[in-house]
Amino acid sequence: MEVRDKLYIDGAWVAPAGTGTIEVTNATTEEVMGTIPEGTHEDVNRAVTAAKAAFDGWAATSPDERAKYLTRIQEGLGARMAELGNLIAGELGMPINLSNLIQVGLPIADFATTAQVVGEFPFEEQIGNSLVVREPVGVVGAITPWNYPLHQIAAKVAPALAAGCTLVLKPSEVTPLNVFILAEVVDDVGLPPGVFNLVTGYGPVVGEAITAHPDVDMVTFTGSTRAGKRVAEVAAQTVKRVTLELGGKSANIILDDADFHRAVNDGVGKCFLNSGQTCIALTRMLVPRSRLAEVEDIAVAAAVSYTPGDPFDPDTRMGPLVSAAQRERVRAFIRQGVEEGAKLLTGGDEPPEGLDKGYFVRPTVFSDVDNSMTIAREEIFGPVLSIIPYDDEDDAVRIANDTVYGLAGGVWSGDQERAKAVARRLRTGQVEVNGGSFNPVAPFGGYKQSGIGREYGKYGFEEFLETKSLNL
C-alpha cells in the first residue's frame, strides 16, 4: 500500500496542518491501495502564501528558461512511465496498455508541446503607438478531475508554469496517487520553491478555499457542470479569472452516405473509451431512421467485444468504473432508460458475469431513444450508448444541438465537404469529422454549459496571460 502523508508546499515535503487521511481504492479489487493527506484551509493558506511570494521571481525568468524546466519535467515523467501507468490502471481501472499510452503518454506530451509553444510565442506586439505585452496572470489555483488524472493536471500545470504563473494544485481525491510522482519530479528538476504547490483533499474544503482565496488570481477547473457552477460563483466574489472544462453529451451524426460499418464501430469505441468516463465521449449516436435496424446489429456486435475485466490482463478492452458511487450512478441511469421506454439492445444494470468484485458495469446500448429521455439528456459517465433515429440532415443537426452541453461531437459522411458543412452547424467546441483523431495541441473546450475558455497548445497557453498596453 502506498502511504503519502505529506503535502508539497514551498519547495518541500511538509506535514499537513490536520491529521485526517483519505483512502484511495483500487477500482478492480475494491481494496485500499493507498492513503493521502486530507488537506485543510490552513494548508491552502500556506500554499497560496508560498505561491504569491514566488511569483515575482518566476515571472521574471525568461520564456526559454521556463521551457527548459518543462522539458526536464517531461523527461522525469518519461523515466517513470511504467510506474505511472501501473498506478493509474490501479486507481482508475483503465486497461494497462491504454493507461500507458493515454494516461501517461498524453501528460508527457503536454509538457513537451507547451515547452515548444512558449519558445515560439510572441509576447510583444506593436499596434500604432502602443506596445502590447503579454504577462502572467499571477497565482493560479488548479482543480482537476479523476478520469484522466495526470493528463488534466499537466494540461493546467504546464501552460501555467510556461506563462510565468505560480500555482496551487488540488487533484481529485479519487485518483490522486499519481500526482505525488509529478511533485517528486518537480522537486528533482529544481523548480524554485513556491512555484508549484500540491494540497490534496476534498473539493468542498480545499477546492473551495483555493477558489475563494483573495490572493489567487485565477482558477482553472475541470469537472462536472454542477461543481463548475459553484467554482464560478465563489470565484466571482473576488472577480478572479476562471476557466472551466465541464460536462458533455456529445452527438455523433452518421449521415446516410457514410460507411456505416466503420462509423458505428468507431462510434461505439468513442463512447466506451475509459469505460465511458470521458467528457468528450460520443454518447448519442444519431442515425437515419431507415437504417436503424442495420445500425443496431453493428452496434451490438461492437459492444459485446468490449468485455470487462482486469485492466492488467492485456486482452481486457474495458476496465471497471472508478468507484462504487460511480457504478451505482451508471446502473441507475440504465434502469431509468428502461423505465422511460428506450429499447435495451445489450448490457443492463446487472453485474457482468464472473465479475462480482470490482466496480464493473456491462457495456450497454440503447436504441430508439428519444432525445427527451434522461439517458439522452444527462451525462452518464459510463459505458452507455444511446442510438437516436433522425428523419433528415436538418433533423439530425437539431437533435445534436438540443442539449445544454457543447463540448464535442462527430459527423460521418462519404463526402468530406458535406461532413464539414454539417460539423460547422454543431454548437460545440470540437467535432470529429469521419473519425478524425484527437489533437493534443488544438484548442479544447466547450460551448454553453460545457465550459469557459480553452486548453492545449497556443490557445490554452493564452488563458494564463494578461494583456497590457504601453502607450508610447
Q: What is the CATH number of the domain that holds 328?
A: 3.40.309.10
Q: How many residues does the chain have?
A: 472
Beta strands in 301-416 (DSSP E): 343-346, 364-367, 384-390, 409-412
237 Cβ contact list (under 8 Å, min separation 6): 212
Grid cell at residue 41: 484551509
Residues 367 and 456 in one domain: no
| pLDDT the model gives residue 286 | 98
Residue-wise pLDDT for 123-178, tens only, equals 999 999 999 999 999 999 999 999 999 999 999 999 999 999 999 999 999 999 99
How many domains does the chain divide into? 2
- Three-class SS state of 243: strand
Report the alpha-carbon distance of residue 456 to residue 109 in Å, rounded: 10
Q: Which residues of the chain have pLDDT under 50?
A: none
Residues 407 and 333 in one domain: yes
| pLDDT the model gives residue 150 | 98
Asked if the structure places residue 180 within a domain, the reply is yes
Asked if the structure places residue 235 within a domain, the reply is yes
| pLDDT the model gives residue 59 | 98
Residues 241 and 302 in one domain: no
Residues 297 and 198 in one domain: no
Asked if the structure places residue 266 within a domain, the reply is yes
Residue-wise pLDDT for 34-84, tens only, equals 999 999 999 999 999 999 999 999 999 999 999 999 999 999 999 999 999
Grid cell at residue 212: 475563494
Asked if the structure places residue 444 within a domain, the reply is no
Is position 279 annotated as part of the catalytic site? yes
CATH value at residue 120: 3.40.605.10
| pLDDT the model gives residue 337 | 98
Among 91, 173, 279, 379, the one annotated catalytic: 279
Report the alpha-carbon distance of residue 349 to residue 329 in Å, rounded: 10
Asked if the structure places residue 409 within a domain, the reply is yes
Residues 356 and 307 in one domain: yes
Residues 274 and 417 in one domain: yes
Among 91, 208, 245, 432, the one annotated catalytic: 245
Asked if the structure places residue 389 within a domain, the reply is yes
3-state secondary structure 61-91: CCHHHHHHHHHHHHHHHHHCHHHHHHHHHHH
Residues 70 and 191 in one domain: yes
Taking alpha carbons only, the member of 404, 125, 385 closest to residue 272 is 385
| pLDDT the model gives residue 336 | 98
Residues 276 and 194 in one domain: no
Taking alpha carbons only, the member of 228, 188, 174 closest to residue 80 is 188
Is position 23 annotated as part of the catalytic site? no
Residues 331 and 261 in one domain: yes
* CA dist list (Å): 408 to 211, 245, 339: 27, 12, 28
Residues 77 and 226 in one domain: yes
Domain that holds residue 325: 251-439
Residues 394 and 276 in one domain: yes
Residues 37 and 165 in one domain: yes
Asked if the structure places residue 78 within a domain, the reply is yes
Q: What is the pTM of this model?
A: 0.97
Asked if the structure places residue 176 within a domain, the reply is yes
